[in-house]
Structure 1
């Protein structure tokens, strides 16, 4: 046995997160911890990992057992090399080894020898090699997937008996998720993880811990079987509660009878009634299930969009040759289609959405849009919501009633369908958790008539029950759906075709969901493969004497036909501005990603409200600056 939870209690203010929890972890266990948003899953993981003590009860750890935690946050701001970052997972001796490796500091040699540190060098090198990491790269320069890989190496270098992971797939694209899933499947130690990725949970979990209203239930089965068993538990709970409430009502009726009944009443029965009252008062009701509905508006034209030979790209970060995100795409979108956009981060999925929404114009080719279009756009940055206003003010905009599906509804009744009642409905959006803000955004979008839904990562932070409800809602929706998601199960359950961004501007349509894409032989070029491809093109151009600079990009053989020729040469000042814009855009996107990552942390909104609002305003300013930079780049590039 690696760990035993014995009557553990954990509270956050007046909320009971764990109520006399008992469970154990054995070697080789694969445990998925599940529960609704806000139930205390991350708090329980921190407790198990050694981050604090329980309010009551005891945690017994096996002597000498090593526990390592893969944190939810990515190490984005880390300026260390990958080698130093990974080595420091070993503590002080790891830092000494990294420092000695970099500077050959003889003062450290004795310290390292004293703790037998030299033997750890082979372990560090082995982990770096196993995860195919570049030891000299700076962590901050890595993509999200490679940062997650570096963080995993930092945890694995300790050779843990138990690896603890909190939402390990957050901010990863599908390729990175599948790599992580495969790696964890071959990990020999025990796993304890929290994840809303149902495909990952089904692949890895052999045991499920269900945390519900402070009670931890252990299901020794796969994730799919757990969902069936949990449904039976809830049905049994509902029957027992109904019987209890019936008995309590009978006893309350008895105690309220007249003088005759009170003269003859049994004092033991009175005490039993008082116990029933206390038990009923202590019952923690399960949070209701969201009841979302859509107003599909009037029917759009049969044709939604027709793309012919559409090409769009950006110059590389040095201002050189064009890097196509979409190259010569032919695609027709019809009313009622449900299409998933899949591919690595930065492959061009959001760019295609902006082209379809007429926010960007193709650099070559044409886009013909249909008629009578009413678009609802779910932006993962949640720009539609004002963080300074409450949920009710964001939805109703000062009105008491709203029109939904052709009928009038009181706004509080409508919001209760999305689990916003009382205080929660009047809470500022900026103070909500990630899952709650997603539900608020869905409430905002679904209150407006729409025959086209554009959803960019709508599943982030949603619990499994809400995910499944959203799936059914989209399946029943008679209009058109464009869905960007890295959630493989969600894609498989909703879409009837996929547009796959396979790299180097190649976008292909596949019938079916993500698993159908895989079965048909689809795959994505990794970021490394795309980088190698671009380097080969640059080397080829350099070897043939072709100038790949920005002034010659439109004339080079590699870009003819993919970008329109410029009508005239830009002035020196404007050309320098154009050359600098890709770097500015990349920097702004990096800052936005860093802020969004910070805001996704469970404790972000527990900070001082002034600091929270400052960061929310900074995010809004950065997003505005990014839009301006995109527009300026498009303007200069077309001159």
Structure 2
């Protein structure tokens, strides 16, 4: 089933043409990744698909009634609303029903309104949907539904936007870098969710494991042309290489034919027969194909690293806390030459705090950090480049000098250096604020590396960089002779360049694991705790029991039985959320009484549903 067709769209900003005459289609159940270099117009295409922008020419033809949800890189919400208000600010009929039910729960004394809301949940089968959306909020760590948007961090806002997009249950989900600002656990959950769910996706992402495990089609914009690959990331890499090789063969054949035809043209045939006229007309096409070249310029990374002494960085019983939150507790470590360490852990466990202490931007509470005399840090932060109003790209680099030293006594001009980072003469005189997000990150990487560090610290370096630049950065880092410390949620990147991990587990615990990220996940999976084994066994037994009972129930009883399970789980979540409200020490007695009534109403409802569930469970047992 065709959902959407893009017909010959073009987009320019002033003299800059992003793309022209692009056409492709999106069908039901497609999971498409859109791949292109930074600055090619990926975000513009997503904005056009979502209706947030319009093409200069061409059109988007959509199926009638198609519901599209768009996750942008920088989502905007009403600062005065809460998370709960934002979630329910939707056209989804099921969300409206759930919202009415949630309101009815707040006023259990109004039995008529509660009964009506409860019946609507039944009629529209909204129990499973309510359970699903509460699980999404829980997985994305959006637990405080009364938190105002104005108090949320950028990462929390991105997660809220992702939750809103998923919960709205659209026909087509358009995503711009969905894994940015998610920790590794969330990324893996989302990856599994998309791989299993019946979503139609069109996304831009640099996460190559995500591309490998979720997508069934990749559309690449390369040198102004679209190429479609009906497969995942591995299939794309293999077939792109074959396509380029074939293009080179065809260009070689065209060159030979061009030489032959050029000789014929130089003889200036006098006979203007129909055949010769046709041959003359074809000559211009042959010439064009013969002179076709791939403009495959790549970022060139090179630094003049200063010598690293025997003493690098030493942590001696370092502790750090923020009020009751412990980040480090007597942490000890001595960095060695050539170490390549990855840092992983859930958001909020102190990874960025650790980096700030390492670079002397934050002092420890106790213990000491000793830094060797020869150490020169290069710190690539999440914040990126500081944009000065009306500052041009070339001016950013000239702040470090007109000429930049390279290895073996060589030097290059600021202009030449920028060309190595894919900023041509025209782009060098653009204002920094006009660059795409990926181009700004590439420029920032340039400013970090030209300072010739011997201890590189990279905090989320892969965000917004295109896949081509990522591959080049990885190759550079593999040959980098200094120390390397990386915080990244890009599992592919971590697997490729790090030798061991600092795993931040929270409460001051840091595990030094000998291996990369995939090694760690394999290790975790192979060492389950005893309670987990017991829990899994009970789940298997429970599932078998369900199947056995289902065989003995009529069709209507099976349906009721299944609905009761969903209702009970949803009510248990309501109960838990309400119980947590009692932790607020500022509650008045009147509010406590009101909450107690609501809680009792939910408990009674659960007991009623459980009784019926047991009746059906035991009805046909011998």
Q: TM-score, normalised by structure 2?
A: 0.72
Residue from 311, 316, 320 that aligns with 2:319 = 311
Aligned match of 1:547: none
**Residue 431 (structure 2) pairs with residue 428 (structure 1):** yes
Please say if residues 50 and 68 of structure 2, whose CA atoms lie closer than 8 Å, have aligned partners that are also in contact. Answer: yes
Residue from 113, 119, 133 that aligns with 1:128 = 133
**1:463, CA displacement in angstroms?**
0.7
Residue from 317, 330, 343 that aligns with 2:332 = 330
Give, in whole Å, the separation in 1 of the partners of 2:68 and 2:432: 37
Give, in whole Å, the separation in 1 of the partners of 2:518 and 2:129: 36
**1:124, CA displacement in angstroms?**
6.3
Q: Which is further off, 15-24 or 380-389?
A: 380-389
CA deviations over 1:557-604 (Å, ceiling 9, x no partner): xxxxxxxxxxxxxxxxxxxxxxxxxxxxxxxxxxxxxxxxxxxxxxxx
Residue from 435, 438, 458 that aligns with 2:461 = 458
Please say if residues 183 and 345 of structure 2, whose CA atoms lie closer than 8 Å, have aligned partners that are also in contact. Answer: yes
**1:422, CA displacement in angstroms?**
0.8
Structure 1 unaligned regions, length at least 5: 316-321, 524-531, 540-639
Aligned match of 1:210: 220
**Residue 300 (structure 2) pairs with residue 291 (structure 1):** yes
Structure-2 change in CA distance of 1:392 and 1:238 (3 Å): farther
Aligned match of 2:483: 480
**1:337, CA displacement in angstroms?**
0.4
Give, in whole Å, the separation in 1 of the partners of 2:85 and 2:289: 56
Aligned match of 2:280: 270
Give, in whole Å, the separation in 2 of the partners of 1:478 and 1:364: 32
Structure-2 change in CA distance of 1:76 and 1:20 (3 Å): closer
Aligned match of 2:396: 394
CA deviations over 1:167-221 (Å, ceiling 9, x no partner): 1112222222222222222312322222111121112112212222343222111
Aligned match of 1:72: 73
What does 1:548-563 correspond to in 2, within 5 Å?
Answer: none
Give, in whole Å, the separation in 2 of the partners of 1:75 and 1:261: 66
CA deviations over 1:34-71 (Å, ceiling 9, x no partner): 22223233333344445566666664544454433333
Give, in whole Å, the separation in 2 of the partners of 1:169 and 1:470: 20
**1:354, CA displacement in angstroms?**
2.5
Residue from 136, 159, 168 that aligns with 2:169 = 159
Structure-2 change in CA distance of 1:174 and 1:373 (3 Å): same
Structure-2 change in CA distance of 1:454 and 1:134 (3 Å): closer
Structure-2 change in CA distance of 1:275 and 1:417 (3 Å): same
**1:441, CA displacement in angstroms?**
2.2
Structure 2 unaligned regions, length at least 5: 528-575, 584-622
Aligned match of 2:32: 31
Aligned match of 1:223: 233
**1:8, CA displacement in angstroms?**
3.3
Q: Which is further off, 411-420 or 198-207?
A: 411-420
Give, in whole Å, the separation in 1 of the partners of 2:509 and 2:428: 45
Give, in whole Å, the separation in 2 of the partners of 1:488 and 1:150: 23
Give, in whole Å, the separation in 2 of the partners of 1:430 and 1:59: 29
**1:154, CA displacement in angstroms?**
2.9
Give, in whole Å, the separation in 1 of the partners of 2:331 and 2:425: 49
Please say if residues 159 and 182 of structure 2, whose CA atoms lie closer than 8 Å, have aligned partners that are also in contact. Answer: no
**Residue 250 (structure 2) pairs with residue 240 (structure 1):** yes
Residue from 355, 366, 369 that aligns with 2:368 = 366
Give, in whole Å, the separation in 2 of the partners of 1:336 and 1:323: 32
Counterpart secondary structure, 1:163:
strand
Aligned match of 2:185: 175
Give, in whole Å, the separation in 1 of the partners of 2:509 and 2:442: 34
Counterpart secondary structure, 1:311:
strand
Please say if residues 2 and 62 of structure 1, whose CA atoms lie closer than 8 Å, have aligned partners that are also in contact. Answer: yes
Please say if residues 90 and 168 of structure 2, whose CA atoms lie closer than 8 Å, have aligned partners that are also in contact. Answer: yes
Aligned match of 1:8: 8
Give, in whole Å, the separation in 2 of the partners of 1:475 and 1:495: 9
Give, in whole Å, the separation in 1 of the partners of 2:165 and 2:125: 14
What does 1:175-194 correspond to in 2, within 5 Å?
Answer: 175-194=185-204
Aligned match of 1:346: 348
Give, in whole Å, the separation in 1 of the partners of 2:48 and 2:255: 36
Structure-2 change in CA distance of 1:242 and 1:391 (3 Å): farther
CA RMSD of aligned residues (A): 3.8
Structure-2 change in CA distance of 1:347 and 1:89 (3 Å): same
**1:508, CA displacement in angstroms?**
1.7
Structure-2 change in CA distance of 1:438 and 1:152 (3 Å): closer
Aligned match of 2:548: none
Give, in whole Å, the separation in 2 of the partners of 1:74 and 1:503: 29
Q: Which is further off, 213-222 or 262-271?
A: 262-271
Aligned match of 2:620: none
Structure-2 change in CA distance of 1:499 and 1:448 (3 Å): same
How many matched pairs?
508
Counterpart secondary structure, 1:520:
helix
Give, in whole Å, the separation in 2 of the partners of 1:189 and 1:123: 17
Counterpart secondary structure, 2:89:
helix
Give, in whole Å, the separation in 1 of the partners of 2:130 and 2:424: 54
Structure-2 change in CA distance of 1:428 and 1:510 (3 Å): same
Q: TM-score, normalised by structure 1?
A: 0.70
Give, in whole Å, the separation in 2 of the partners of 1:280 and 1:7: 29
Q: Which is further off, 231-240 or 144-153?
A: 144-153
